[in-house]
């Protein structure tokens, strides 16, 4: 049985983006997964079941969600092995221990160019720190995410790719849920 993380972008943020945990779990089961768990109210799922291509899971999960009356959004799926690498390769372990709510993982649709990463670093006006790893960005927001000018819109525009973010507490919770059951 394979495990996956599915992250929906910008759900439950306001009118027209609401989706219940029950609807999310139903969409996961309609996609063929036997075990489906939701984490929080941010459109975050752990899926266990058949080994499938990630692109297929993204496409079928969104189609099932639309059939159930869910919002139009985007989906980012990572395998359990990819998620374990994300946790293992965290370049900010001290920040993850001291203040995990202010460390985010941005999951990116595609791999930005080195020039795009350099441009993003140039746009940082506060104390935020960024480290990239392929299709992931680790960002430390020492003064808080809500006050930062390093917004998701700025990140996407500068990197030239769509993304969604989760704080390190959620990243670790997903990692735990993906571990094989005894």
pLDDT (tens digit per residue) in 40-92: 777 889 999 999 999 999 999 989 988 887 777 889 999 999 999 999 999 99
Say which CATH class 2-79 falls into: alpha beta
Looking at domain 89-178, does it have CATH number 3.30.70? Answer: yes
Q: What percent of the chain has pLDDT over 70?
A: 94
| pTM recorded for the entire structure | 0.92
pLDDT for 97 equals 96
H, E, C per residue of 91-144 = CCHHHHHHCHHHEEEEEECCCCCHHHHHHHHHCCCCCCEEEEECCEEEEECCCC
In which residue ranges of the chain is CATH 3.30.70.1280 found?
2-79
């Amino acid at each position: 049985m394979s495990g996956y993380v599915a992250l929906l972008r910008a759900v439950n943020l306001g009118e027209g983006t609401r989706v219940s945990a029950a609807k999310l779990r139903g969409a996961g089961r309609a996609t063929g997964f036997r075990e489906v768990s939701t984490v929080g109210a941010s459109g975050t799922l752990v899926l266990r079941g058949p080994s499938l291509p990630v692109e297929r899971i993204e496409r079928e999960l969104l189609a099932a969600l639309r059939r159930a009356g869910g919002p139009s959004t985007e989906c980012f799926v990572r395998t359990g092995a990819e998620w374990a690498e994300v946790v293992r390769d965290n370049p900010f372990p001290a920040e993850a221990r001291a203040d995990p709510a202010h460390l985010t993982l941005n999951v990116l649709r595609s791999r930005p160019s080195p020039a795009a990463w350099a441009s993003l670093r140039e746009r940082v006006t506060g104390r935020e720190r960024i480290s990239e790893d392929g299709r992931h960005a680790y960002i430390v927001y020492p003064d808080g995410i809500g006050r930062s000018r390093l917004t998701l819109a700025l990140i996407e525009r500068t990197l030239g790719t769509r993304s969604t973010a989760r704080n390190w507490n959620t990243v670790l919770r997903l990692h735990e849920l993906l571990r094989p059951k005894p």
